[in-house]
């Protein structure tokens, strides 16, 4: 197109009359199709319908308590909200063009059902405090649910740890064999990380347990509303103290999305290990058929797709966090429409973590380990090197010197001078007693210190792991959950 050409702007068709906006009084024209297409959030925020109805019911009760609604009006609007709830539940709720978001859709329907009284629902309320209230209620339910699922995964890890008995495998640093560790110790290591995730979710839940309802568009209201009473009605621990902060604070979304990204990173690390463990090279674990996939072309394949996707999708969880933080960073007080962009990353992160935890929990719970392969790898003679050095330390030799003595034997063994066990037995400072440390299965028993990888420390760890699970469940129960 020639830039000099006069270009006539083609206005989109106007919406049907039924799609009247919430702000029609100030406007002579209706919204354009492209505006609606670009600004609509209904496709994803309709999942907050329960929370929107709960928030509206508490608001209506609050308005009646301070005389802004009569008892009759209150009951009419509450009944309409219940009807909407039934329609939503049954999937019979009909959305219309112009239902920009779930708040608009529900208020429209309530007005249809309740007549004039429905027009009072939005008294002393803005979608700005409404959406913040809904989202906090949604988080209270969903984050609690994620925490419960994580606990199930921790339990699956514990069960496999208990099943594993004294099976050991190489512990790695730099993915090089380092020292033998009990399989139970390795499995519980991941469970402890998930425990921190649960505790982070609980911290986030405590901090987000503040009701923004009553903050209005940004400044509160001239009407005699009682935000503390509606906060209590909704099961929030407290009400906001600053209306500007109340409508613009999305720290809780950022925290939640961080918590979920961190969970994703833990799941990704588990995924990476299982990809290795199930490979022919390691052969440490075999997946149950229900938790593995085959190949369309290679008949022999059994692939760990769950583990790979747990690793791959963690990138998306990190993306959700960075996108959200970037969206938030330049916003002046108070509400800005940019904030609508808080929902998709949050919903997506919750959904993806929920799916990943369920699939990985099943994968771990049903997998079979191959102790022979694990133990053969851990029985490599050089894995005893640190125990040999510590043997010399017990005899009074400074560790640095002991390290060099044993290192020289390892080097000689690698050069083909003899097996490490023979070289150790022949060394007068080490001898037959030290050589016993090189024998298969001995190494793992040597790690006796608190929190260590051997059988002696395991009992105490299992006990504190169980205490962690009990604490987590108790904290979740104690948390005054919505609903």
**Which residues here bind ligand ARG, judged by CB under 6 A?**
41, 101, 127-128, 131, 335, 337, 339-340
Least Å distance, CB 102 to ligand ARG, is: 8
Shortest Å, Cβ 346 to ligand ARG:
11
**240, 246 in Cβ contact below 8 A?**
yes
| 303 burial via Cβ count (<10 Å: 0-12, 13-18, 19+) | middle
Task: Yes or no: say if 471 and 43 are a contact pair by the CB < 8 Å rule.
Answer: no
Q: Are 248 and 131 in contact (CB under 8 A)?
A: no
Active site residue 295: yes
List, as one string, the DSSP characters of 48-105. Answer: GHHHHHHHHHHHHHHHHHTTSS-HHHHHHHHHHHHHHHHHHHHT-PPP-TT--SHHHH
The DSSP output letter for 337 is G
Question: From CA 325, how far away is CA 169, in angstroms rounded?
Answer: 41
Distance CA 319, CA 313 (A): 10
Distance in Å, CB of 146 to ligand ARG, minimum: 22
The three-class DSSP label of residue 238 is strand
222 catalytic? Reply is no
Catalytic residue among 7, 174, 222, 296: 174
Nearer to ligand ARG, 138 or 274 (CB): 138
> Which member of 295, 419, 449, 464 is catalytic?
295
Among residues 41 and 375, whose Cβ is nearest to ligand ARG?
Answer: 41
Query: 256: Cβ–Cβ under 8 A, 6 or more apart, which residues?
Result: 139, 143, 201, 204, 208, 346, 349, 350
Distance CA(102)–CA(437), nearest Å, equals 68
Joined tokens for residue 295: 């190949």
Nearest-approach distance from CB 101 to ligand ARG, in angstroms: 4
* Contact between residue 405 and residue 429 where contact means Cβ atoms under 8 Å apart: yes
In the complex with ligand ARG, the residue whose CB is nearer, 101 or 472, is 101
SS3 annotation, 398-459: CHHHHHHHHHHHHHHHHCCCCCHHHHHHHCCCCHHHHHHHHCCCCHHHHCCCCCCCCHHHHH
CA 343 to chain centre: 15
The torsion defined by the Cα of 223, 229, 232 and 234, in degrees rounded to 10, comes to -40
**Contact (Cβ atoms closer than 8 angstroms) between residue 367 and residue 158:** no
**What is the distance between the alpha carbons of residues 118 and 78, in angstroms, rounded to a whole number?**
9
Question: 299: helix, coil or strand?
Answer: coil
Which one, 7 or 337, has the nearer CB to ligand ARG?
A: 337
Closest distance of CB 155 from ligand ARG, Å: 37
State which residue, 117 or 346, has the beta carbon closest to ligand ARG.
Answer: 346
The torsion angles phi and psi of 396, rounded to 5 degrees, stand at 105, -5
Positions marked active-site: 174, 295
């Amino acid at each position: 197109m020639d830039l000099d050409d006069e270009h006539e702007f083609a206005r989109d068709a106007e919406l049907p009359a039924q799609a009247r906006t919430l702000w029609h009084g100030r406007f002579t024209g209706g919204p354009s199709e492209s505006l609606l297409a670009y600004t609509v959030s209904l496709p994803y925020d309709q999942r907050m319908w329960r929370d929107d109805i709960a928030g509206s019911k508490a608001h209506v009760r609050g308005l009646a308590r301070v005389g802004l609604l009569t008892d009759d009006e209150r009951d009419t609007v509450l009944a309409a909200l219940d009807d909407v709830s039934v329609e939503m539940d049954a999937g019979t709720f009909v959305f219309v063009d112009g239902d920009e978001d779930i708040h608009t859709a529900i208020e429209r329907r309530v007005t249809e059902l309740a007549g004039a009284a429905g027009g009072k629902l939005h008294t002393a309320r803005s979608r700005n405090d409404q959406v913040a209230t809904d989202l906090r209620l949604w988080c209270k339910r969903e984050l609690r649910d994620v925490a419960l699922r994580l606990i199930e995964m921790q339990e699956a890890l514990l069960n496999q740890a208990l099943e594993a008995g004294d099976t050991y495998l190489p512990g790695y640093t730099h993915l090089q064999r380092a020292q033998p560790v009990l399989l139970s110790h390795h499995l519980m290591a991941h469970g402890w990380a998930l425990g921190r995730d649960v505790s982070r979710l609980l911290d986030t839940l405590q901090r987000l347990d503040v009701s923004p309802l009553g903050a209005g568009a940004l400044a509160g209201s001239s009407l005699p509303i009682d935000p503390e009473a509606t906060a209590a009605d909704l099961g929030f621990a407290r009400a906001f103290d600053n209306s500007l902060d109340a409508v613009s604070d999305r720290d809780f979304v950022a925290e939640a999305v961080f918590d979920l990204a961190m969970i994703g990173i833990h799941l990704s690390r588990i995924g990476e290990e299982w990809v290795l463990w199930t490979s022919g090279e390691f052969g440490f674990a075999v997946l149950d058929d229900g938790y593995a996939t085959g190949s369309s072309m290679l008949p022999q394949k059994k692939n760990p797709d769950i583990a790979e996707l747990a690793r791959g999708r963690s990138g998306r969880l990190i993306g959700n966090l960075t996108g959200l933080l970037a969206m938030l960073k330049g916003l002046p007080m108070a509400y800005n429409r940019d904030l609508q962009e808080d929902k998709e990353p949050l919903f997506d992160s919750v959904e993806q973590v929920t799916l990943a935890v369920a699939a990985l929990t099943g994968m771990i719970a049903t997998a079979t380990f191959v102790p022979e392969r694990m133990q053969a790898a851990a029985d490599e003679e050089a894995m005893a090197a640190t125990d040999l050095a510590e043997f010399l330390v017990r005899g009074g030799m400074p560790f640095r010197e002991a390290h060099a003595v044993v290192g020289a034997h390892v080097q000689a063994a690698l050069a083909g001078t003899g097996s490490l066990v023979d070289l150790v037995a022949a060394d007068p400072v080490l001898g037959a007693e030290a050589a016993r440390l090189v024998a298969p299965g001995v190494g793992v028993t040597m790690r006796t210190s608190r929190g260590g990888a051997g059988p002696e420390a395991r009992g105490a760890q299992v006990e504190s792991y169980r205490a962690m699970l009990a604490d987590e469940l108790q904290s979740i129960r104690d948390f005054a959950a919505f609903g």
